[in-house]
Amino acid sequence: MGGLNAPRLRRWLPEISMAVALVILPFVFDTWLGSVDLFTRILIWGIFGLGFDLLFGRTGLLSFGQGAFYGTGGFVTAYLLTSGTLDNVWLAIAAGIAAAAAFSVFVGFLALRRVGIYFAMITLAFGELSYFLENSPLAKWTGGENGLPGVPAPSIQIGGFDYSFAGSWPSYQLVAGFYFVGFVFARFVVLSPVGSVLTAIRQNPERTAALGHDVRAYKLAVFVLAAVFAGCGGAMLGIFQSYMPPDAFTLDTSGQLVIQTVIGGAGTLIGPTVGAAIWLTLRDLLQLVPHVGELWKFILGFVLVVLITFMPHGAVGTIVRLISRSRPLPPAVTASKRPEDATAREALLAPLPAKAPITTPAPLALEVSDISKAYGGIRAVERVSLALPEGRFHAIIGPNGAGKSTFLRLLAREETPDSGRILLHGIDVAAADVTAAYQAGMAKSYQINQLFIELTVRENLRIGALGRQRGRLRLDIFRSANGFAKVEEVVAALLEELGLTGCADVAVTTLAYGEKRRLELGLALVSRPSVLLLDEPLAGLSPAEREGIKQLIRNLSKGRTIILVEHDMDAVFELAERITVLHEGRKLAEGTPKEISNDPLVKQAYLGGMATP
């Protein structure tokens, strides 16, 4: 226990509090509400809800079909035990959970092809599908409308000692044990890099993908994880009631889970449990009131509508927000001391070496040949080529609608060119996605800020750094999100370079526009890219702020290949070594700033009568 210092205590405080609550609360229920069973029921919903909160509260995926996995877990466990296929209840529970997970891989693969409204509709449809399957085609095994009675409780045997979990208090112990393990596990997920990525996906899935994270894969991972919790909850239900009811599969079940989560507070882990406590206690208490009892569900519907309208963070969420407003989120535990030394910062932020094929002579950093992109009849980019050696600072200018931003989107692999090749350090990335391009060392800052606005500045940068550090997908849930020493060092150095150290641990929403703009640039730099695409970094800034950003770009351009798209001609001619002029999707001219400013074609098409520097 020697190592239980303040930060570690803080890390484990929720788990300790939960353990205490799980010991005390059942007595409260037993004393005031007549039986511990109500609390057992709440915890079964709570297990189900822990997974749903990771899915919906964390990642923002609103599924209306979680009953499918709750039912699958419950029925597979119940069938294996009641049919005599398995004697060991623990094994049957494991099999039920595995079946729920397997089913969720299939459903998730299909449902996650779409987002938002479609995701909700498709998951709901699969929930209904599983209800119908249980009810008739599979009725031979599931008992159809009758469900499966006689599910036995597990027991433990150590030596001659035999303890069965049948009965009111023992089954509470069983469910509470599973709940506690689930809670600890879910906390690990939330605090891990995976938890950070899931939060980032909720806030801005496109940017998360552009920062090197495989969004589809992470979504599928959390979908399966939620199904594991659901399957476990379903298994507990069957064991607790000694009976597995078919209505575990219904829309009512999935809907009740959603409502409980919203009432309790999404994104708080215990929110669904609190919501279940409110729901089930209210139902039991309202039944006792004459004439009102029948209306309990109406009242809950009303409460849901009122809560969504006026208190979208739910009961727990509102309390958490009140508390965390007075207490800033803890800074990274392993963050090194403030990197004051400019040379040290430069070393930390230097581009990572690219994984280039071993060829001689060294390939170009970026080689674009004849890429084209048309939208219907509009040819946004037509047969544009560009060859940049390592370390080149290149600018692209052109009038509005010339295809500059489209060109950058094609390079960053946010869009796929209709034809042409893009070689990044000699590797063809024309068929890769934006995530792969980022992993290969290309990053982009956006014309319109693409930030994770509810996260702090440091957390924003961390998302980008973790993307390069951990690769497209890694399920390192037992690591801490701030436990990568190298990432923390780079982030701290970059914060200093951006001049954002002072506001590192405040939420992005509170930043001024100029600060957000610098953070946007920082998100493109935090992976230490070798090729950097800058889409109008100076847009919307004051002259003083422009100077600051220009200086920043200059500082960080060393050793990097940069493509700058910018309307501020002074900045372009000052920073760029070479300039390409695009006009109506085609390359009009290319040369040194001096050549461009003297080119008669360019003057005519673009600069017009403007004085040249």
User: What is the smallest separation between the CB atom of 294 and another protein, expressed in angstroms?
Assistant: 6
Q: Rule CB under 8 A: which of 56-75 touch another protein?
A: 56, 60, 62
Of 433, 502, 436, 489, which is closest to residue 461 (Cα–Cα)?
Answer: 489
Smaller CB distance to another protein: residue 307 or 549?
307
Give the binding range for another protein (CB under 8 A) out of 114-122, 466-474, 537-545, 584-592: 114-122
Number of shown-chain residues binding another protein (CB under 8 A): 40
The correct pick among 7, 116, 167, 328 for binding another protein (CB under 8 A) is: 116
Q: Which two tokens stand for residue 82?
A: 């009641």
Give the binding range for another protein (CB under 8 A) out of 271-279, 305-313, 379-387, 548-556: 305-313
The correct pick among 167, 312, 540, 613 for binding another protein (CB under 8 A) is: 312
Smaller CB distance to another protein: residue 257 or 440?
257
Q: In whole angstroms, what is the distance from residue 339 CA to residue 342 CA?
A: 8
Positive or negative CA dihedral for 509, 514, 519, 520? positive
CA angle 324, 219, 135 (to 5 degrees): 110
Smaller CB distance to another protein: residue 114 or 355?
114
Q: In whole angstroms, what is the distance from residue 261 CA to residue 268 CA?
A: 9
Q: In whole angstroms, what is the distance from residue 27 CA to residue 510 CA?
A: 45
User: What is the smallest separation between the CB atom of 300 and another protein, expressed in angstroms?
Assistant: 7
Smaller CB distance to another protein: residue 303 or 473?
303
Using the structure block, give the residue that is written with the tokens 């569900």: 297
Q: In whole angstroms, what is the distance from residue 362 CA to residue 291 CA?
A: 83
Smaller CB distance to another protein: residue 257 or 503?
257
Per CB under 8 A, 294 contacts another protein: yes
Give the binding range for another protein (CB under 8 A) out of 41-49, 300-308, 367-375, 479-487: 300-308
Give the binding range for another protein (CB under 8 A) out of 175-183, 295-303, 322-330, 443-451: 295-303
User: 3-class SS at 608?
Assistant: coil
Smaller CB distance to another protein: residue 314 or 351?
314
Smaller CB distance to another protein: residue 28 or 308?
308
Q: In whole angstroms, what is the distance from residue 184 CA to residue 179 CA?
A: 9
Which distant-in-sequence residues (6+ apart) come within 8 Å of 21 by Cβ?
none
**One-letter-per-residue 3-state SS of 364-411:** CCEEEEEEEEEECCEEEEEEEEEEECCCCEEEEECCCCCCHHHHHHHH
Task: Please state, in angstroms and as integers, the Cα–Cα distance from residue 451 to each residue in 339, 349, 493, 552, following that order.
Answer: 24, 20, 19, 19
Smaller CB distance to another protein: residue 23 or 305?
305
User: 3-class SS at 578?
Assistant: strand
The correct pick among 9, 17, 87, 114 for binding another protein (CB under 8 A) is: 114
**Per-residue binder mask for another protein (CB under 8 A), 117-146, x = binder:** xx-xxx-xxx-xx--xx--xx-x-------
Of 518, 532, 212, which is closest to residue 350 (Cα–Cα)?
Answer: 532
Of 589, 583, 586, 579, which is closest to residue 383 (Cα–Cα)?
Answer: 586
Per CB under 8 A, 297 contacts another protein: yes
Q: Rule CB under 8 A: which of 354-413 touch another protein?
A: none
User: What is the smallest separation between the CB atom of 222 and another protein, expressed in angstroms?
Assistant: 16
User: What is the smallest separation between the CB atom of 405 and another protein, expressed in angstroms?
Assistant: 18
Tell me 212's DSSP state.
T
Per CB under 8 A, 157 contacts another protein: no
Asked whether 499 and 352 are in contact (CB, 8 A), the reply is no
The correct pick among 102, 115, 153, 605 for binding another protein (CB under 8 A) is: 115
Per CB under 8 A, 295 contacts another protein: yes
**Per-residue binder mask for another protein (CB under 8 A), 230-269, x = binder:** ---------------------x---x--xx--x-------
Q: In whole angstroms, what is the distance from residue 73 CA to residue 508 CA?
A: 41
User: What is the smallest separation between the CB atom of 581 and another protein, expressed in angstroms?
Assistant: 31
Smaller CB distance to another protein: residue 112 or 191?
112
User: What is the smallest separation between the CB atom of 303 and another protein, expressed in angstroms?
Assistant: 8
Smaller CB distance to another protein: residue 86 or 311?
311
Smaller CB distance to another protein: residue 115 or 427?
115
Q: Where are the alpha helices (DSSP H) in 192-294?
A: 193-203, 205-210, 215-241, 251-264, 271-287
Smaller CB distance to another protein: residue 139 or 356?
139
Give the binding range for another protein (CB under 8 A) out of 14-22, 39-47, 109-117, 433-441: 109-117
How many C-beta neighbours within 10 Å does residue 338 have?
Answer: 11
Cis peptide before 361 (omega within 30 of 0): yes
Q: In whole angstroms, what is the distance from residue 410 CA to residue 366 CA?
A: 13
Q: Which two tokens stand for residue 563?
A: 């493509």
Helices (H) and strands (E) in the chain, counts: 24, 14
The correct pick among 10, 113, 321, 486 for binding another protein (CB under 8 A) is: 113
Using the structure block, give the residue that is written with the tokens 């914060």: 495
Q: In whole angstroms, what is the distance from residue 595 CA to residue 581 CA?
A: 11
Smaller CB distance to another protein: residue 230 or 300?
300
User: What is the smallest separation between the CB atom of 471 and another protein, expressed in angstroms?
Assistant: 28
Asked whether 98 and 163 are in contact (CB, 8 A), the reply is no
Contact positions vs another protein (CB under 8 A): 56, 60, 62, 110, 113-118, 120-122, 124-126, 128-129, 132-133, 136-137, 139, 251, 255, 258-259, 262, 294-295, 297-298, 300-302, 304-305, 308-309, 312
